[in-house]
């Protein structure tokens, strides 16, 4: 049980953090902070589609991660 509690907590936090980073990265792409579009060789017309993908992935990861963190709090 203790192992499962630890695993649920670590995976939940890691997945939530991945989701948050994906959303932040989407914002950075949109505003082109630190010339991030140039760094990943992305043309401006492709930005919306990558933003959409990153947002969908980010929010799914955040919600899934929150479910696990919630379970950890209840265990």
Partner 1 sequence: MSEPKLRRELGLLHAVMLGVGASIGAGAFVMLGQAAAMAGPAIIVVVLLGGVINLFTIFSFCELGAAMPEAGGEHLYIKVAYGGLPAFITGWFEWMSEMFYAVLMAVGSATMISYYIPVNIPITAIGIVLIFTLINVRGAKGSGTTAVVLGLTLLVILAIYVVSGLQHGFGADAFQPFMPKGVFGMLGATAYIFVIYLGSEDIVVAQGEIKEPGKTIPRALLLNAGLLIAIYGIIACVTVGMVPTEILGELSSPLAFVAEKTMGWVGAVLLTIAGLVAAMSSLNTAIMAQSRVVYSMSKDGYFPKVLSAVHRRFGTPHISVIVTSIFTLVFTAIGAIEFAAYAASFGFIIGYSLTNFALMKLRRTKPHLKRPFKAPLCPFTPIVGIVASLGLLPFMDPRVLALGAGLGVLALLAYYLSMVGHYRIRVAFGGMSLGIGVFAALLAYLIETGLLPLVTPPVLFYVLIFVSAVSILAGVLNVTTPTRNIF
For partner 1, the binding residues (CB under 8 A) are: 7-8, 11-12, 14-15, 18, 27, 30-31, 41, 57, 60-61, 63-65, 67-68, 71, 74-75
CB of 15 to partner 1, least distance (A): 4
Closest C-alpha to 59, from 69, 48, 51: 51
CB of 74 to partner 1, least distance (A): 6
Residue 70: CB partners within 8 Å, gap ≥ 6?
none
CB of 67 to partner 1, least distance (A): 5
Are 61 and 16 in contact, with CB atoms under 8 Å apart?
yes
């Amino acid at each position: 049980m203790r192992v499962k509690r630890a695993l649920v907590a670590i995976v939940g936090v890691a997945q939530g953090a991945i989701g948050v980073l994906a959303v932040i990265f989407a914002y950075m792409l949109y505003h082109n902070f630190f010339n991030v579009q140039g760094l990943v060789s992305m043309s401006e017309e492709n930005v919306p589609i990558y933003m959409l993908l990153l947002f969908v992935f980010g929010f799914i990861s955040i919600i899934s991660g929150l479910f696990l963190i919630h379970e950890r709090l209840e265990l």
